[in-house]
């Protein structure tokens, strides 16, 4: 099994670029990719794009945050939480 690659996309009112970004990740040939989109409560149509592709996203949220670094940290917390749950189930912790 290939190691999991987690791709984090922080976004705030970036609908102009978000669709292309999501499609780029979806089209990757690597077999074990998870994509997390953290949106800062955008008002430009970003949420519509996220919802259109939500079945291909490992995690997404659209809520106010304190900027790009806060968004990335929220995604890392989601990834770490998932890893901890998996490790717990297989007896690694």
Average pLDDT of the chain is 88
**Residue pair 6/79 in contact by the 8 Å Cβ criterion:** yes
CB count, 10 Å around CB of 72?
A: 16
Answer whether residue 90 shows pLDDT above 60: no
What radius of gyration, in Å, describes the C-alpha atoms of the chain?
Answer: 14
pLDDT value for 4? 87
Share of the chain above pLDDT 70, in %: 85
* pLDDT tens-digit map of 28-46: 999 999 999 999 999 999 9
Task: Taking residues 33-62, report their average pLDDT.
Answer: 97
Phi and psi at 57, nearest 5°, equal -100, 140
């Amino acid at each position: 099994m290939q190691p999991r690659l987690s791709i984090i996309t922080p976004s705030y009112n970036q609908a102009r670029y978000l669709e292309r970004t999501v499609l780029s990740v979806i089209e990757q040939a690597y077999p074990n990719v998870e994509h997390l989109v953290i949106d800062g409560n955008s008002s430009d149509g970003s949420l519509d794009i996220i919802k259109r592709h939500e079945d291909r996203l490992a995690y997404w949220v659209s809520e106010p945050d304190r900027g790009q670094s806060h968004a990335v940290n929220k995604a890392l917390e989601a990834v770490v939480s998932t890893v901890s749950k998996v490790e717990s189930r297989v007896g690694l912790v």
